[in-house]
């Protein structure tokens, strides 16, 4: 078990290999489809002009993401009426939806970890090697258990996206995950896909 504290250094990231179990502590940011699309269009490809609080949010989140982690998560949150937020469920959402965006977001913000479920593709794996960074697979179906690792909600941004799509800044302690894509080109997801394809071809040929 690797106990990791955010921000993560290049050296720590390069020590991690596919299959390593980790316990992550520190400040992470949630982000799903709307957040990734917003980051790409507004600040990376700049195909839309910043509006409203966009620049303020960007300036706040950029230092948190540098050396940090983004979590593909649509949380269930209590305290919405009082502002005393508490994560009730914090399970991972399917990561592959962010494949068109993730590599560019990782490079721009110098992200060291992406957390989700189901793995990602070749573009993200290339970014893991380049930045360097890792993809951490969180346990699907364990939303309540994972929520226990959330010690505090520091803040929330882009609430206009809706609660699941908003960017929640949270402090976690010993968040459990497994490295399934590393900075050396290793991808457990690619290995499983190749093995499954080979098994299917063998069955079809028999």
Residues that are catalytic: 36
3-state secondary structure of 70: strand
- How far is Cα 65 from Cα 8, in angstroms, rounded to an integer? 10
Helical H segments across the chain, by residue range: 10-15, 33-39, 54-65, 99-109, 122-130, 143-147, 188-205
Judging by beta carbons within 10 Å of its beta carbon (0-12, 13-18, 19+), is residue 126 exposed, middle or buried? middle
Asked if 30 contacts 71 with a C-beta cutoff of 8 angstroms, the reply is yes
Which pair of structure tokens corresponds to residue 200? 């299917």
Which pair of structure tokens corresponds to residue 103? 């590599």
3-state secondary structure of 16: coil
DSSP state of 83: T
Q: Which residues contact 46 (CB under 8 A, 6 or more apart)?
A: none
């Amino acid at each position: 078990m690797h106990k990791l504290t955010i921000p993560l250094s290049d050296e720590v990231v390069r020590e991690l290999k596919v299959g390593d179990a980790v316990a992550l502590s520190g400040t992470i940011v949630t982000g799903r489809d709307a957040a990734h699309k917003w980051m790409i269009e507004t600040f990376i490809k700049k195909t839309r002009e910043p509006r409203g609080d966009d620049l303020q949010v960007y300036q706040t989140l950029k230092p948190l993401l540098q050396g940090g982690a983004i979590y593909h998560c649509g949380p269930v949150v209590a305290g919405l009426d009082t502002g005393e937020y508490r994560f009730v469920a914090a399970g991972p959402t399917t990561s592959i939806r962010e494949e068109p965006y993730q590599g560019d977001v990782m490079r721009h913000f110098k992200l060291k970890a992406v957390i989700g479920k189901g793995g990602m593709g070749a573009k993200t794996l290339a970014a893991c090697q380049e930045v360097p960074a890792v993809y951490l697979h969180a346990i699907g179906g364990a939303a309540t258990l994972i929520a226990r690792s959330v010690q505090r909600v520091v803040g929330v941004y882009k609430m206009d996206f809706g609660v699941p799509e908003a960017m929640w800044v949270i402090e976690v302690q010993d968040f459990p995950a497994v490295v399934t894509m590393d900075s050396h080109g290793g991808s457990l997801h690619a290995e499983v896909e190749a093995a499954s394809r080979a098994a299917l071809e063998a069955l079809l040929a028999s």
